[in-house]
Amino acid sequence: MARGDLAYVNLPFIPGSRVQGGRRPGALVTTDAALKGNPMVMIVPLTTKLNAGRYPLTVLIEPSLQNGLSARSVALVFQLRAVDPTDVGPAIGHLEAHYLAQIDEMMRGMLGI
């Protein structure tokens, strides 16, 4: 996997929680250099519930042949998380540069870097 890849990710489901859980697409945001030897990867989970776009720190992503999505999806940047690579399936596609740039900008602002 490489930075910007989209893949299905198995996230723990926590009943009653607002945290995304279950099998869903996620965008790999870890730099390629940080992937080497790191036991975890950082992902931004996606949802097809478009009303999630009302929250700050979200990006609407249109499906395309490049990214492999089959439906409009919202990247939930505010739910950035570390996951075990064994919970990440093979890449279904790769984010277009403009979506990855939006996610990067939101992560910088969210983390104050």
Q: What is the pLDDT of residue 81?
A: 94
Question: Average pLDDT, whole number, for the chain?
Answer: 93
Q: What is the pLDDT of residue 98?
A: 98
Residues in the chain: 113
Strands (E), the chain: 5-11, 22-28, 41-47, 58-61, 73-76, 81-83, 88-94
Q: Which band of pLDDT confidence, cut at 50, 70 and 90, is reported for residue 104?
A: very high
Is the per-residue pLDDT at 16 higher than 90? Answer: no
d(CA 55, CA 37): 34
Is the per-residue pLDDT at 60 higher than 90? Answer: yes
Is the per-residue pLDDT at 85 higher than 90? Answer: yes
Is the per-residue pLDDT at 33 higher than 90? Answer: no
Domain that holds residue 16: 5-109
pTM for this structure? Answer: 0.92
d(CA 39, CA 41): 7
> How many domains does the structure of the chain reveal?
1
| CATH code where residue 31 lies | 2.30.30.110
